[in-house]
A and B are shown apart, each in its own frame.
Chain A
Amino acid sequence: MKSEEDLRAQFDAELRVAGLELSGEDRERLFVMWADHLPHRQALRDAAARLEEEPTFLEKPTTSGASS
């Protein structure tokens, strides 16, 4: 569990990388939202993909898949 100080340092670094220069209220609201969402992002980053899992989606179906 990171301290708020560490979280804010990470947040500031990410804003710099993204090129976002935000004012007081916007910055604070975004920090709260970003911190709230971190567990989701971490879950994504922690989920290992197998080598053969390519970022291809399902093939675009061109015919009806209807069973009826």
Chain B
Amino acid sequence: MSADELCDLDIKGVGQAIQRRDVSSVEATEAYLRRIERYDGVLRAYITITAERALAQARAADEELAAGHRRSPLHGVPLGLKDLIAVAGTPMTAGSQVLAGHVPERDAFVAERLAAAGAVLLGKLSMHEFAFGRPIPDGPLATGRNPWDLSRVPAGSSSGSAVAVAAGLCAGALGSDTGGSIRGPASFCGIVGLKPTYGLVSRRGVVPMCWSLDHVGPMTRTVWDTAVVLQAIAGHDPEDASTSTARPPSYTRSLEDGVRGLRLGLPRRYYLDWPGLHEDVRRAAEAAFGELERQGARIEDVDAPTLDLAPAIWSPFLAEMYEYHAPTARERPRDYHDMTRPRLYMGALFTAQDLLHAQRLRARLAREVADILRRVDALIFPGQAEPATRFADVKYTELIGPSIRYTLPWNLLGLPAICVPCGFSRGGLPVAIQVVGRPFDEPTVLRVARAYERATEWHTRRPEPAGWVLS
């Protein structure tokens, strides 16, 4: 197997190759490091590459395997972390000059868990500044280019995580999601991205955007990969009071159970009938829903009237973001990117009454959706409104774009939400469907996503490295 063939594999493939001793973890790590060296100057997925640490972890993984000990399916597998997840001794920027020189002294909970599962950390991945900045193609804190078309954004804020996974610069990654920052990049880059239930994955050691909306989750090439990464990072953390004390179930046990007999709700009015939905996305999503029906799922239209208010409800929570940044923004405003500062200040312009009113309406939306999820097992709808947009078309003075209606309601409600590739636009860009489930019902969300994935081959397609050249 060549190095490039290895980097084309998913987590399962890399992990099994290491387990079978077809390749050592050190050899796999070196293959990824060479690929990063070759392509990341253009793709800009990484902010920090932790080559020495990675090779040391890989050697340890190989030694353990030689001694007959395999920690998990992630044993020896090279992964990347969004650069707002703390790793002791490794610089962390959160995509900002504000944190220049910052080196955490302690691992984030999720970094500890991945290391305990035997994963190898290749490095820290680029992102939109503090998870709410805008895409930046160049400069020391560039946010990454879409490997399917370098002139287009990979979406954000977990941009580098999606670019690295899609381009084979790591086998899998973690991102974070406050309004769609895992699912947007996953959709734009043709990979799988899961925002878990609020409280399933600890955020200790993760730079916050909005505490009550932030989620950490896997970004991978397949649903199975997402399930095994989730298995590694899910669970109670006594130092994050928002985490559930319930023991997580197996996320792979029911993965292949299919959708026969499942009831799926389609919020047609809010999502499919919305005039901003790109025709190519609509067509691919409808075909995907047809495939799920063909497999025996029953799809019915559902509606939650308060979804119309979801972007308006979400916005005042930016006060949480401003509260976190206010002291720094007052003392060192120029350390934030010019296009980030206005977005930051917007958080100061909502009143306490706005935020509390939003909380009341959020509760209404939660009740409406809970009623729906008593009748159906999960919701299905498009992952994003459109395929990846051009850097040149990014609206830098827009607080929230239209596509965010596809993702942010599920942050407000804390429900598990996964995006899985469902085809390509006529222009050759990936598009996705999204599955949302009941609280802590990741097994059903993953099962639906997997049922669709296994009937299609979208997840096996890779962007062409020959195109990774800047003109």
A, B in one complex: yes
Q: Which residues of A contact B (CB under 8 A)?
A: 14-15, 18-20, 22, 25-26, 29-30, 32-34, 36-37, 40-41, 43-45, 47, 49, 53-58, 60-68
A55-B363, A62-B245, A64-B441 are known contacts. Are A40 and B354 too (CB-CB below 8 A)?
Answer: no
Q: Mark B345-376, 1 if CB is under 8 A from A, else 0.
A: 11011100010111111111010001000000
Across the interface, A53 reaches (CB within 8 A) one of B309, B360, B439, namely: B360
B197 to chain A: which residues have CB within 8 Å? 61
B13 to chain A: which residues have CB within 8 Å? none
Quote the shortest CB–CB distance from A50 to chain B (angstroms): 8
A40 touches B444 (CB 8 A): no
Quote the shortest CB–CB distance from B234 to chain A (angstroms): 11
The verdict on B398 contacting chain A, using a C-beta distance below 8 Å, is yes
A58-B439, A68-B443 are known contacts. Are A33 and B315 too (CB-CB below 8 A)?
Answer: no
Do most interface residues of chain A lie in helix, strand or loop, or is the interface mixed? loop
A43-B312, A44-B312, A67-B377 are known contacts. Are A14 and B244 too (CB-CB below 8 A)?
Answer: no
A49 touches B360 (CB 8 A): yes
Stretch at the interface among B28-36, B59-67, B180-188, B336-344: B336-344
Quote the shortest CB–CB distance from A49 to chain B (angstroms): 4
Give the CA-CA distance A63 to B447 in the complex, in Å.
19
A33 touches B397 (CB 8 A): yes
Across the interface, B244 reaches (CB within 8 A) one of A33, A57, A60, namely: A60
A43 touches B309 (CB 8 A): yes
Across the interface, B444 reaches (CB within 8 A) one of A34, A36, A47, A68, namely: A68
A32 touches B244 (CB 8 A): no
B315 touches A40 (CB 8 A): yes
Give the CA-CA distance A16 to B366 in the complex, in Å.
35
The 10 tightest CB contacts between A and B, nearest first, are A55-B359, A65-B438, A44-B312, A18-B348, A29-B342, A30-B342, A32-B397, A49-B360, A40-B312, A61-B439
Listed A/B pairs (14) with beta-carbon separation below 8 Å: A18-B345, A18-B348, A20-B349, A26-B338, A29-B341, A29-B397, A30-B346, A43-B309, A47-B309, A49-B360, A53-B363, A58-B413, A61-B246, A64-B248
A65 touches B360 (CB 8 A): no
Q: Mark B309-343, 1 if CB is under 8 A from A, else 0.
A: 10111011000000000000000010000110111
Q: Which residues of B contact A (CB under 8 A)?
A: 197, 199, 242, 244-246, 248-249, 254, 257, 309, 311-313, 315-316, 333, 338-339, 341-343, 345-346, 348-350, 354, 356-364, 366, 370, 377, 396-400, 413-414, 437-444, 447
Give the CA-CA distance A62 to B440 in the complex, in Å.
9
B343 to chain A: which residues have CB within 8 Å? 33
B440 touches A66 (CB 8 A): yes
A53 to chain B: which residues have CB within 8 Å? 360-361, 363-364
Give the CA-CA distance A6 to B414 in the complex, in Å.
39
Give the CA-CA distance A63 to B414 in the complex, in Å.
15
B437 to chain A: which residues have CB within 8 Å? 65
A44-B313, A58-B413, A67-B438 are known contacts. Are A34 and B244 too (CB-CB below 8 A)?
Answer: no
Give the CA-CA distance A61 to B283 in the complex, in Å.
36
Chain A: CB-nearest residue to B244: A62
Across the interface, B359 reaches (CB within 8 A) one of A41, A57, A60, A62, namely: A57
Highest count of chain B CB atoms <10 Å: which of A43, A49, A61: A61
